[in-house]
Amino acid sequence: MGIVEDYLRRRERPIEVGVVGAGFMARGLIRHLTTSVPGMRVAAVCCRDPVALERAVGAGSWAVTEDVESLTGSPRIDVLVDVTGAVEYGAHVALTAIRDGKSLVSLNAEVDATVGPILDVLARDAGVARSIADGDQPGVQLRLAEFAARVGLVPRLMGNVKGLHDVRRNPTTQRAFAETWGQRPTMVTSFADGTKVNFEQCLVANALGFGVQATGMRGADFDGHVDELVSHYDLDELHAMSGAVDYVVGARPGPGVFCLAEASDTAQREYLKLFKLGPGPLYCLYRPYHLCHLEVPTTIAATVGFGATLGPTPATTGRRPTVEVAAFAKVAVTAGTRLDGCGGYLTYGQAVNAEEFRRAGLLPMGVAEGCVARTDIPVDRPLSYDDVELPAGRVVDSLRERQERLPG
């Protein structure tokens, strides 16, 4: 029995979970906690459409509300899990949880990549445990990085395996697939057009202090096994940038994640060769799957029981991001157009090293929704703050301003 399972068995009462969201992943998490996880219970769900929730997962013993403050203000609830994928609303959820001293687990890479660094500072200063989630690809990569360090390896590149990347995809092209799986077309589009993987790898880069080797990452088509990737990266370049994040399309096994790591003790290389990891100097560790919401209870228990969070290292907490996700024009945008958000028709996201991002005054993808174009913007050009008028009074914009004041 592991530490987490032992902790759950010994608790006098189940961990009471408040789920924020009722989409595809949220519904899966609710089912999982309800049917398969001893020691945890869904106490409440915050969503915009309670009727749709009941139709999807059936009536349960949980409360349903549209007001997240009724969750954060309840002494009954031990932890919130954000499964919304929304930036502005996700930022509001995080701030409310921090204000009310409620532990928070995030399956919201969009908000984490946009304002995660400042939210981590606010949570730390308030003594609140805030964690990204096991099971989501960023969380699985960070667990791989932890494992590499435990066995004396130094992570140099963290990677994501994707099956498709086409920046021209939109909710119309992805509608049939979305309907087949009961997902929103915008969410499916954000995977297909690469916005999601750029958010995910940005999150990993900022947690580890890594960068990207090119705008949008290298993102190579690769039909071999991930083990073969050790020869596709220049180790001296990875050393010079303190490590990098990337993704590949079509590699085997997929859809998993991988870590290319270097032996800190060169004398161990003979052992690593014996263990079938190859001659070095880079070694590939990988996991061929990630089980999303099915792994989240591990994070919930670790966060509630031990205050153990998954995310930035002590060396990166409290620092500005090393990588940002910039908004690029998916089509030619005319002046006066109100931009849609992630997985929409008008923009897609690309990871950019933060120094370049700030120097060019680029617009974060997580901020783009609702902005109005001041000028015509050609296709595939990155948007800048000068190109748009921001909506008034948004939480995400005030958090971005505070985040920019963090040390670099």
List the domains of the chain with CATH numbers: 3-135+293-306 (3.40.50.720)
In DSSP notation, 112-181 reads: HHHHHHHHHHHHHHHT--EEE-TTSHHHHHHHHHHHHHHTTEEEEEEEEEES---TT--TTTTHHHHHHH
Full-model pTM: 0.96
Q: Which residues, 6 or more positions from 312, have their beta carbon under 8 angstroms from its beta carbon?
A: 116, 117, 120, 206, 207
**Tokens in use for 179?**
């309907």
Taking 70 as the pLDDT cut, the residues of the chain under it are 1, 51-60
DSSP state of 377: B
| Secondary structure class of 315 (helix, strand, coil) | coil
Q: What is the mean pLDDT of the chain?
A: 95
Instruction: State the pairing for strand pair 347-353/323-329.
Output: antiparallel
Contacts of 51 (CB under 8 A, 6+ apart): none
Measured distance CA(102)–CA(74) in Å, rounded: 9
69-84: pLDDT as tens digits: 999 999 999 999 999 9
Under a CB-based contact definition with an 8 Å cutoff, are residues 73 and 382 in contact? Answer: no
Q: Do strands 282-287 and 257-263 pair parallel, antiparallel, or not at all (unpaired)?
A: antiparallel
Distances in Å between the alpha carbon of 182 and those of 75, 114, 289? 34, 27, 21
Q: How many CB atoms lie within 10 A of CB 347?
A: 28
**What are 265-287's pLDDT values in tens digits?**
889 999 999 999 999 999 999 99
Token readout for 81 is: 């899990």
Count Cα atoms within 13 angstroms, Cβ side, for 73: 5
Q: For residue 138, what pLDDT is reported?
A: 97
The pLDDT of residue 55: 62
Pairing of strands 257-263, 323-329: unpaired
Cis peptide before 279 (omega within 30 of 0): no
Q: Which pLDDT score, from 0 to 100, does residue 405 have?
A: 97
Q: Can you give the pLDDT at residue 60?
A: 67
pLDDT of residue 5: 86
- The tally of CA atoms less than 13 A away on the side-chain side of residue 370 is 12
